[in-house]
């Protein structure tokens, strides 16, 4: 049972007493000026070290280490693969004269790519690869990677990975993203893994294609001319717009809400008291440099599973010792539940629309957290 | 958010570990990034004998020796580098000047960089192999320096640096390092010797400029050569490929040929089956018509015209695309000669050339007309065009300079000019060659090579390699022939001769039976063994005996020279023999596979002396049924060496009743039975136009030396037993080595090969040819007899032989057992065992058989090397098949040349008393074209093309000279019926019946054979001219 919990709610519930939880919650939910245990501001990330191309045998790789000692390595390998179109069905259709809409659709699959071309595996110490956490995490990250083109609009090639994997109608790249968490998952590892994957993809190069059009692919054997999967803009144009807003892989951020406050990059203790935990995937739109929301996923907050504190009024030991006025239940503005201040009650997981809207806004707005993260990642020299 | 990057440069180990990264595309379509780690070291020697540092650090082998240093301590100097110099060529220098580097006059002490070698391998495998063999030989002092592994000379590729620039930098770095290194070593040795100059040879102007800045001496290949002696000759040897590309570049707009598809497009097409791959083969009668046999179709696809053949040269492996059906044509019925059609082309003026000259276009037009005619046989066949070349199979070609293409003032001037070289091989187009010695080269046999064939050039461009000598001199022509057929004719190197027994000619079979030489050998010295061979045969491979056994049966033995005793696997002699593959017999010369000492003495089963042999002994019933067979190594003493005639005489001589003669009579009797059995099983009696030349005395008529091979009974006696031995051995080795037995097969020819011949026979003679099996073919061939024309049957056999595939050696594992069949011999399994002196295959079979019977060799452990690895055997098979074929071609060409020379000599003798009237002979029409016929003259075993002008029409006054005859051609018209295979030649405007000549297929015609000098083109080329006189 406890393993189940772990798996679904991601990180172990820290062994904090209800009083500690309540204290944490209170300080984090202080209106407008939350106080985090490590003194960060709500939007501040933990410092990290990052490097790319650490694995020479891969097409792209990255290592990111958070200051709390958690580290992850991501390697990206690419393989040429034949695009299998069900020719028989195509033939059959044309024989029976059925409308060609579906044929076009299929063609667009060959042009627009297919989600199954990206394969992601996540290895977390202490977990089997079919445990819920790795599976859930990998699906969450893969979805935003390939799903960036979800709507299949022709213009929407932005951060979408699968469209980039198309070589021609008959061939494509298959991408294997192997994510390895090196340390115990002290906090929910999503941000770490996402950032590492982002950097790894950014440094991923594919051999330069020499053949043209619908020919069988044929590649230049010089690795130095290999091309980035996410191409860089040339230096000259980069000068025009100070920070080049080139297309980048998506990033998934972990955001929690505590009371009315929104807190980024929560550590383990902060998650334990969160009202809601959200994974927000963003990417940068191609031209304008605007950020674009790709997906929002709610993560089951571990606070649900904590032991509740007992208000004095209900405590048998304290019966009659305290004036009942101290125990007046107050309505929590964020959750709409009645609570006794200073007494921990497990969160139920609900969160108000306005809070979510605020979260998204904080991420996406100009100069917001999203931009800050992406800029920070750009600061990592990708070589 | 902050991020930090770990600093790698602080790692102290980083300096001597580096990696090499590249992309590898595998055949299965995988694309991999490959990372190789390089560990740089400092003990790779410079290998200069001047160096005093390296000998102490160079790595030693297990016995503590270091590899001997290569580069001379007194390198040759030139004007520019008086103190001597070492050369450091870059890849392009080698690509353009490999012939120079192989030249023995210059280019010594060369440092070949690993970088350069690898780059060369990527660009040209043949050149890479040539360079490797140069590095292996000691005399040229080429040193392969592993610069990439040496710390000081390893060059890291900079950002934005191209691979080429990096490699050029590596070359310069090595040159700089050597200079410094040698100087340091000179200082250390306190010898005030001058350090040789390090000369980088590169044609890259940028690299020369950079070298100057880096204080490294660099010159271009042509500049360097210009400073050498005999520079004019050497300059001609530089490849034109690069120059042509540089000078023309993009400036020249006009492109004559379509571009090849990109490699990826070719691969896509080939894989998808839209394109086909095959070897491009040009018709010997029509240089504009080629064919490519591809696995997808039964019949070869036709490739007509120069734009369709698109710069492919016969022998190239090409990718072709089938043309739409409206462009399908029938194969040509015309003889089209490149020289005749394009003789007025000017080699210098590219501008006016069109890819298809009007003349060529006309020639093609007529063909199309033909194709659209009424004929059933001439129904259009699929045609194709070449869209890419998978592999060039260009080699060195022997030819001569077309005198028409040299400028008139050629003889005097030493300036560079462009000439055409006409290759001896007619199917190869003429080659444009730049030369500074045109005047000198006229009238010489020269060796040239093709460098490139660009889209903007109508002919391939090549360069001169060397001159073989005056045209028509025996030496030059023989060498030309050997070169043309890729025969290894250089004397055996010392390393090979070192493998011979030290006793030389004094080697004897050991007298004491205790000697290890007798291990496992049976003593057969008492048997009455004799050998029967062609007259004058020195390399006696085989000997025979037969004797009656007490039980009424007979013992028959075939004894083969035990060559494998002397040629041990994998020594230098064995390797040389495996490369040579076979002995090549020319009219007046024999190119041996094994050194003389073995071939004609120690191995040869000479009479009256004891020799080692490998014997196959059968017990046969009086009816020639084989009871048992046995194999053994043996010692024999041949009683007599007969020629076929001598043996025949002795057998026929009733007065001779000694045991030896009796044994020969028995053999003969058995051979006849065996022969009959073989024919009953369906063996073919094939014919090839063979004559033999017995070099007689100089005084007589040289033509009397030309003899068609007479078949005596004794010929077939030997033949039958050799076949029997081969079959018996084949069965035995296949039993023991089911995967690696070296066998010989003759594939059943596909029936469509015979289509034309069947058609011709039924049309002209109402005869049928049944090709359903070899037995059926044999019997139907027997029925093809023309009572009035005894030679007709032979002619049909010759033609039938040409429809078949050629026999080949193979490894048992390479084919299914049902494919082992030897079609011609009608034997289910076959190999070659009986001529190990002259064929390498036999030598291998000897080893396999020895191993199969458990022969343990002299020293008690069996030598089974070369018997067990199939991959290696398959390589050997490929080579010996190729050598075998070439040896046959060379032999035939040699006879042809000899006949020509004999005719010429006769002509000159006759000319003393008047004009050369040629010699009257009988000929047979083998093939009919629209503008000529091919005639076979059995007396000389030659076939020749008879063109229009060479028909002597009734009422014509005698024989004209070649020039006069040429004029006649334009006045003549023909009527050609491709269905009836008839051709009527008449003079224009004179269509009276009696003024024309009719010829038809298989017709016996009177011909006049003479050797004539080609006039007009003045190249002094000679050809055998055949005039049809009636």
pLDDT digits (tens, 9 = 90+) for B959-1004: 556 666 666 767 777 788 877 888 888 777 766 666 778 888 888 8
A362 to chain B, any CB pair closer than 8 A? The answer is no
Contacts of A381 in chain B (CB under 8 A): 5
- The closest CB to that of A57, out of B29, B33, B262, belongs to B33
The fraction of chain B above a pLDDT of 90, given in percent, is 20
> Mean pLDDT over all residues of chain B?
82
The chain B residue lying nearest A51, using CA atoms, is: B5
Distance of alpha carbon B184 from the chain centroid: 50
> Mean pLDDT over all residues of chain A?
75
Q: Which of A248-252, A302-306, B331-335, B712-716 has the lowest mean pLDDT?
A: B331-335
The fraction of chain A above a pLDDT of 70, given in percent, is 74
In order of B96, B163, B240, B351, the CA distances from B243 in angstroms are: 9, 22, 5, 18
How many C-beta neighbours within 10 Å does residue B609 have?
A: 13
Q: What is the DSSP letter of B639?
A: E
Give the model's confidence band at B684: pLDDT under 50 very low, under 70 low, under 90 confident, else very high: confident
Q: What angle do CA A93, A94, A97 make, to 5 degrees?
A: 85
> Does residue A319 fall inside a structural domain?
no
- The closest CB to that of A218, out of B3, B163, B264, belongs to B264
Distance CA A301, CA A271 (A): 7
Position A64 pLDDT exceeds 60: yes
Size of interface A-B (CB pairs under 8 A): 93
Q: Which of A247-251, A275-279, B528-532 has the lowest mean pLDDT?
A: A247-251
> Does residue A332 fall inside a structural domain?
no
> Does residue A80 fall inside a structural domain?
yes
Distance CA A73, CA A200 (A): 9
Average pLDDT over residues B169-196: 83
Burial class (CB in 10 A: 0-12, 13-18, 19+), B741: buried
Which ranges of B427-493 would DSSP assign to H, the alpha helix? 438-441, 474-484
Tens of pLDDT, residues A26-40: 888 888 788 888 888
Helical axes A369-378 vs A190-202, angle rounded to 10°: 50
CB B79 within 8 A of CB B95: no
Position B829 pLDDT exceeds 90: yes
Closest CA–CA distance from residue B761 to any residue of chain A (Å): 49
Two tokens, residue A215: 């020919």
Domains assigned to chain B = 70-238 (3.40.50.1010), 263-484 (2.40.50.690), 494-503+518-673+737-742+834-889 (no CATH), 748-804 (no CATH), 918-1028 (2.40.50.140)
Average pLDDT over residues A144-156: 54
Give the model's confidence band at B374: pLDDT under 50 very low, under 70 low, under 90 confident, else very high: very low
Distance of alpha carbon A22 from the chain centroid: 28
Tell me what pLDDT residue A323 has: 53
Rg of chain A over Cα atoms, rounded to whole angstroms, equals 24
Q: Any idea what the CATH number is for the domain that residue A64 is in?
A: 3.30.230.70
Tell me what pLDDT residue B1014 has: 60
Average pLDDT over residues B900-919: 70
Tell me what pLDDT residue A178 has: 94
Position A99 pLDDT exceeds 50: no
A242 vs B678, higher pLDDT: B678
Distance CA B481, CA B502 (A): 35
How many C-beta neighbours within 10 Å does residue B6 have?
A: 12
End-to-end CA distance of chain B: 104
Tens of pLDDT, residues B74-95: 888 887 888 888 999 999 888 8
**Probe site for chain B from A87, A215, A228 (most B CB atoms < 10 A):** A215
Q: Which domain holds residue A205?
A: 2-309+344-378
Distance CA A150, CA A148 (A): 5
Position B525 pLDDT exceeds 50: yes
Contacts of B3 in chain A (CB under 8 A): 48-50, 376-377, 379-380
The chain B residue lying nearest A63, using CA atoms, is: B5
- The closest CB to that of A47, out of B2, B33, B35, belongs to B2
Burial class (CB in 10 A: 0-12, 13-18, 19+), B17: exposed
Q: Shortest CA distance to B181 belongs to which of B45, B72, B70, B77?
A: B45
β-partners of residue B827 are: B822
Two tokens, residue B777: 């073919």
Position B251 pLDDT exceeds 80: no
Closest CA–CA distance from residue A337 to any residue of chain B (Å): 35
> Does residue A322 fall inside a structural domain?
no
DSSP strand pairing (B590-591 vs B542-548): unpaired
- The closest CB to that of B1, out of A220, A373, A381, belongs to A373
Position A369 pLDDT exceeds 90: no
Tell me what pLDDT residue A96 has: 41
Q: Which of A364-373, B663-672, B797-806, B915-924 has the lowest mean pLDDT?
A: B915-924
> Does residue A327 fall inside a structural domain?
no
Hey, are the CB atoms on A219 and B33 less than 8 Å from each other?
no
Tens of pLDDT, residues B396-429: 899 888 877 766 554 445 677 888 888 888 888 8
Tens of pLDDT, residues B271-324: 888 889 999 988 888 888 888 888 888 778 888 888 888 889 988 999 998 888
Residue B831: which residues within 8 A CB-CB, separation 6 or more?
Answer: B726, B729, B730, B733, B741, B742, B743, B744, B841, B845
Using CB atoms and an 8 Å cut-off, which of residues 62-101 of chain A contact chain B? Answer: 78-80, 82
Q: What stretch of H or E contains B303?
A: strand B301-304
Distance CA B123, CA B888 (A): 33
Give the model's confidence band at B866: pLDDT under 50 very low, under 70 low, under 90 confident, else very high: low
Q: Which residue has the tokens 């028995």?
A: B666
**Probe site for chain B from A87, A212, A221 (most B CB atoms < 10 A):** A221
Tell me what pLDDT residue A3 has: 44
Two tokens, residue A302: 């571990």
Q: Shortest CA distance to B274 belongs to which of A219, A214, A92?
A: A214
Tell me what pLDDT residue B863 has: 58
> Does residue A335 fall inside a structural domain?
no
Hey, are the CB atoms on B265 and A49 less than 8 Å from each other?
no
Number of domains within chain A: 1
Q: Which residue has the tokens 């009086």?
A: B622
Tell me what pLDDT residue B639 has: 92
Give the model's confidence band at B547: pLDDT under 50 very low, under 70 low, under 90 confident, else very high: very high
Q: Shortest CA distance to B786 belongs to which of B795, B773, B777, B778?
A: B795
Position B771 pLDDT exceeds 70: yes
Distance CA B282, CA B280 (A): 7
What ipTM describes this predicted complex? 0.74
Closest CA–CA distance from residue A12 to any residue of chain B (Å): 26
Give the model's confidence band at B111: pLDDT under 50 very low, under 70 low, under 90 confident, else very high: very high
Two tokens, residue B628: 């048992």
Give the model's confidence band at B538: pLDDT under 50 very low, under 70 low, under 90 confident, else very high: confident
Average pLDDT over residues A128-153: 74
Length of chain B: 1030
Position B14 pLDDT exceeds 80: no
Which ranges of B568-621 would DSSP assign to H, the alpha helix? 572-580, 596-597
Two tokens, residue A340: 């006794």
Burial class (CB in 10 A: 0-12, 13-18, 19+), B367: buried
Phi-psi region of B914 (alpha: psi -120 to 50; beta: other; left: phi over 0): left
Report chain B residues touching chain A, CB-CB < 8 A: 1-6, 19, 21-25, 29-31, 33, 35, 157, 163, 262-265, 267-268, 271
Burial class (CB in 10 A: 0-12, 13-18, 19+), A38: exposed
A357 to chain B, any CB pair closer than 8 A? The answer is no
Tell me what pLDDT residue B3 has: 46
Contacts of B23 in chain A (CB under 8 A): 207, 219-223, 226
The fraction of chain B above a pLDDT of 70, given in percent, is 84
> Does residue A106 fall inside a structural domain?
yes
Contacts of B29 in chain A (CB under 8 A): 80, 82, 216
Residue B125: which residues within 8 A CB-CB, separation 6 or more?
Answer: none
Distance CA B872, CA A208 (A): 37
B325 vs B220, higher pLDDT: B220
Contacts of B30 in chain A (CB under 8 A): 79-80
A192 to chain B, any CB pair closer than 8 A? The answer is no
Closest CA–CA distance from residue B31 to any residue of chain A (Å): 6
Hey, are the CB atoms on A217 and B31 less than 8 Å from each other?
yes
> Does residue A185 fall inside a structural domain?
yes
Cα dihedral B320/B323/B325/B326 (nearest 10): -150
């Amino acid at each position: 049972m406890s393993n189940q919990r772990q798996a679904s709610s991601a990180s172990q519930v820290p062994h904090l007493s209800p009083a500690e939880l309540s204290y944490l919650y209170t300080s984090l939910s202080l209106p407008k000026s939350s106080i985090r245990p490590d003194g960060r501001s709500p939007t501040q990330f933990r410092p990290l070290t990052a490097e790319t191309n650490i694995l020479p045998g891969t097409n792209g790789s990255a290592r990111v280490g958070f200051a709390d000692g958690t580290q992850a390595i991501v390697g990206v390998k690419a393989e040429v693969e034949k695009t299998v179109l069900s020719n028989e069905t195509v033939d059959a259709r044309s024989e029976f004269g059925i409308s060609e809409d579906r044929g076009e659709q299929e063609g667009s699959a060959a042009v627009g790519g297919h989600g199954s071309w990206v394969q992601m595996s996540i290895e977390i110490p202490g977990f089997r690869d079919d445990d819920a956490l790795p599976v859930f995490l990998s699906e969450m990250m893969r979805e935003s990677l390939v799903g960036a083109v979800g709507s299949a609009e022709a213009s929407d090639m932005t951060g979408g990975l699968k469209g980039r994997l198309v070589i021609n109608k008959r061939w494509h790249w298959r991408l294997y993203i192997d994510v390895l968490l090196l340390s115990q998952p002290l906090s929910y590892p999503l941000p770490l893994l996402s950032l590492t994957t982002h950097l790894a993809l950014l440094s991923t190069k594919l051999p330069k294609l020499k053949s043209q059009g619908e020919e069988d692919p044929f590649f230049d054997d010089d690795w130095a001319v290999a091309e980035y999967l996410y191409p860089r803009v040339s230096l000259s144009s980069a000068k025009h717009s100070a920070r080049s807003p080139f297309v980048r892989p998506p990033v998934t951020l972990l955001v929690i809400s505590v009371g009315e406050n929104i807190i980024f990059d929560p550590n383990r203790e902060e998650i334990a008291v969160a009202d809601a935990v959200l994974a927000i995937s963003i990417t940068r739109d191609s031209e304008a440099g605007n950020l674009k929301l790709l997906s929002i996923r709610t993560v089951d907050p571990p606070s649900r599973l904590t032991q509740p504190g007992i208000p004095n009024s209900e405590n048998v030991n304290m019966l009659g010792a305290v004036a009942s006025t101290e125990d007046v239940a107050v309505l929590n503005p964020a959750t709409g539940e009645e609570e006794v201040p200073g007494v921990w009650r497990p969160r139920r997981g609900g969160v108000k629309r306005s809070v979510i809207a605020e979260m998204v806004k904080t991420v996406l707005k100009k100069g917001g957290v999203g931009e800050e993260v992406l800029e920070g990642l750009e600061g990592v020299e990708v070589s | 958010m902050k991020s930090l990057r770990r600093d790698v440069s602080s790692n102290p180990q980083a300096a001597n570990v580096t990696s090499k990264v590249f992309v590898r595309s595998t055949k299965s379509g995988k694309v991999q990034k490959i990372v190789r780690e390089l560990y740089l070291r400092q003990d790779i020697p410079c290998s200069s004998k001047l160096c005093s540092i390296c000998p102490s650090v160079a790595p030693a082998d297990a016995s503590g020796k270091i590899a001997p240093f290569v580069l001379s301590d007194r390198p040759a100097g030139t004007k520019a580098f008086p103190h001597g110099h070492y050369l450091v060529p870059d890849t392009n220098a080698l690509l353009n000047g490999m012939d120079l580097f192989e030249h023995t006059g210059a280019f010594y002490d060369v440092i070949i960089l690993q970088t350069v070698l690898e780059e060369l391998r990527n660009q040209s495998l043949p050149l890479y192999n040539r360079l490797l063999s140069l590095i292996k030989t000691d005399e040229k002092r080429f040193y392969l320096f592993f610069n990439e592994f040496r710390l000081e000379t390893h060059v890291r590729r900079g950002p934005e640096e191209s691979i080429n620039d990096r490699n050029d930098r590596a070359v310069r770095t090595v040159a700089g390092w050597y200079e410094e290194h040698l100087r340091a070593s000179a200082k250390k040795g306190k010898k005030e010797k001058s350090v040789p100059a390090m000369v980088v040879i590169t044609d890259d102007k940028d690299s020369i400029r950079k070298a100057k800045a880096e204080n490294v001496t660099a010159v271009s290949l042509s500049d360097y050569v210009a400073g050498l002696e005999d520079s004019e000759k050497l300059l001609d040897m530089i490849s034109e490929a690069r120059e042509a590309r540089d000078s023309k570049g993009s400036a020249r707009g006009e492109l004559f040929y379509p571009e090849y598809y990109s490699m990826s497009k070719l691969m896509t097409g080939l894989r998808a089956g839209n394109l086909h791959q095959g070897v491009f083969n040009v018709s010997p009668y029509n240089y504009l018509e080629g064919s490519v046999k591809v696995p997808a179709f039964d019949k070869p696809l036709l490739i007509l015209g120069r734009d369709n053949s698109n710069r492919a040269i016969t022998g190239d492996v090409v990718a072709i695309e089938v043309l739409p059906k409206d462009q399908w044509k029938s194969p040509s019925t015309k003889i089209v000669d490149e020289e005749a059609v394009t003789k007025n082309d000017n080699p210098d003026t590219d501008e006016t050339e069109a890819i298809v000259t009007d003349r060529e276009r006309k020639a093609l037009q007529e063909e199309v007309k033909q194709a659209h005619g009424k004929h059933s046989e001439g129904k259009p066949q699929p045609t194709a065009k070449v869209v890419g070349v998978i592999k060039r199979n260009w080699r060195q070609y022997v030819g001569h300079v077309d005198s028409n293409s040299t400028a008139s003032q050629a003889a005097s001037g030493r300036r560079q000019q462009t000439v055409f070289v006409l290759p001896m091989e007619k199917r190869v187009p003429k080659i444009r060659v730049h030369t500074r010695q045109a005047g000198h080269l006229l009238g010489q046999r020269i060796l040239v090579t093709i460098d490139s064939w660009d889209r903007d050039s109508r002919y391939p461009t090549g360069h001169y390699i060397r001159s073989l000598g005056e045209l028509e001199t025996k030496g030059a022509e023989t060498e030309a022939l050997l070169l043309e057929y890729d025969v290894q004719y250089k004397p055996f190197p010392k390393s090979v001769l070192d493998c011979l027994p030290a006793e030389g000619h004094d080697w004897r079979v050991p007298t004491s039976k205790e000697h290890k030489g007798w291990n496992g050998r049976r003593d057969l010295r008492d048997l009455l063994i004799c050998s029967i061979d062609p007259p004058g045969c020195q390399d006696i491979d085989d000997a025979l005996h037969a004797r009656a056994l007490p039980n009424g049966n007979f013992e028959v033995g075939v004894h083969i020279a035990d060559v494998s005793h002397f040629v041990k696997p994998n020594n230098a002699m064995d390797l040389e023999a495996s490369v040579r593959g076979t002995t090549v017999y020319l009219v007046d010369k024999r190119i041996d596979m094994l050194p003389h000492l073995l071939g004609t003495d120690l191995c040869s089963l000479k009479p009256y002396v004891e020799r080692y042999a490998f014997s196959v002994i059968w017990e046969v019933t009086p009816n020639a049924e084989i009871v048992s067979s046995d194999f053994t190594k043996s010692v024999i003493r041949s009683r007599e060496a007969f020629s076929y005639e001598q043996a025949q005489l002795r057998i026929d001589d009733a007065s001779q009743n000694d045991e030896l003669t009796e044994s020969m009579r028995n053999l003969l009797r058995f051979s006849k039975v065996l022969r009959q059995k073989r024919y009953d099983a369906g063996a073919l009696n094939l014919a090839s136009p063979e004559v033999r030349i017995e070099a007689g005395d100089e005084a007589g008529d040289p033509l009397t030396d030309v003899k068609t091979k007479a078949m005596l009974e004794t010929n077939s006696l030997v033949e039958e037993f050799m076949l029997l031995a081969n079959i018996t051995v084949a069965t035995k080795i296949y039993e023991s080595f089911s995967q690696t037995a070296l066998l010989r097969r003759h594939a059943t020819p596909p029936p469509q090969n015979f289509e034309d011949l069947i058609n011709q026979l039924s049309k002209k003679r109402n005869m049928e040819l049944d090709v359903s099996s070899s037995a059926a073919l044999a019997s139907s061939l027997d029925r093809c007899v023309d009572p009035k024309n005894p030679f007709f049957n032979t002619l049909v056999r010759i033609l039938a032989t040409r429809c078949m595939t050629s026999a080949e050696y193979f490894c048992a594992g390479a084919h299914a057992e049902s494919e082992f069949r030897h079609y011609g011999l009608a034997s289910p399994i076959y190999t070659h065992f009986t001529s190990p002196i002259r064929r390498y295959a036999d030598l291998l079979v000897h080893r396999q058989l020895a191993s199969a019977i458990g022969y343990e060799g002299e020293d008690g452990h069996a030598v089974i090397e070369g018997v067990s690895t199939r991959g290696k055997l398959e390589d050997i098979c490929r080579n010996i098949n190729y050598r075998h074929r070439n040896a046959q071609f060379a032999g035939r060409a040699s006879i042809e040349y000899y006949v020509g020379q004999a005719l010429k000599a006769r002509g000159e003798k006759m000319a003393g008393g008047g004009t050369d009237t040629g010699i009257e002979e009988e000929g047979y029409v083998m093939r009919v074209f629209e503008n000529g016929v091919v005639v076979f003259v059995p007396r000389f075993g030659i076939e020749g093309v008879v063109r229009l002008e060479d028909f002597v029409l009734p009422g014509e006054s005698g024989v004209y000279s070649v020039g006069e005859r040429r004029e006649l051609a334009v006045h003549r018209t023909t009527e050609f019926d491709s269905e009836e295979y008839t051709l009527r030649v008449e003079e224009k405007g004179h269509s009276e019946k009696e003024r024309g000549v009719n010829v038809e297929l298989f017709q016996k015609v009177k011909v006049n054979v003479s050797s004539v000098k080609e006039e007009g083109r003045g190249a002094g080329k000679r050809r055998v001219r055949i005039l049809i006189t009636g």
